[in-house]
Structure 1
């Protein structure tokens, strides 16, 4: 990302849950990713996970590694 990297609050992330706005976002390790076009995140749900959240603590239960995030578009950073 460039020097004008955008930051978003947890509240702003929560609105990108697949229900409230058209965008569907998730966060992992402080980075926010756009999963809007992913067929795996239709309506903001991916198995038992919901979009609009920081999923860092949930990766340990996933059948995949963090490498899945390399394919996703970065939206910005999560403001902590």
Structure 2
């Protein structure tokens, strides 16, 4: 099964403000973090949903393994 590709503009709409969905991208994959209590209102500490977090993870106190608990719902095109 292939997963859909979304543009940066489509990802930006899933920021927890414009729509109910809360999505983030990391290394080309888009994750649905809507159910996470850590992403209420589309923000997690100084990070905002609806964008590619790849460059920001360098400074995070956790590793990329944090994404393992979320579903990949698309690719960033």
Shorter-chain TM-score bucket reads: over 0.9
Q: How far has the Cα of 1:9 moved from its partner? A: 0.1
Runs of 5+ consecutive residues of structure 2 not aligned to the other structure: none
Q: How many residues align?
A: 77
Q: After the TM superposition, which parts of structure 1 deviate over 3 Å for at least 4 consecutive aligned residues?
A: none
The CA distance in 2 between the partners of 1:45 and 1:69, in whole Å, is 16
Q: Which residue of the partner structure matches residue 49 of structure 1?
A: 47
The CA distance in 2 between the partners of 1:74 and 1:30, in whole Å, is 10
The two structures have a TM-score, normalised by structure 1, of 0.94
Q: The residue matched to 1:69 in structure 2 has which SS?
A: helix
Runs of 5+ consecutive residues of structure 1 not aligned to the other structure: none
Q: The residue matched to 1:36 in structure 2 has which SS?
A: coil
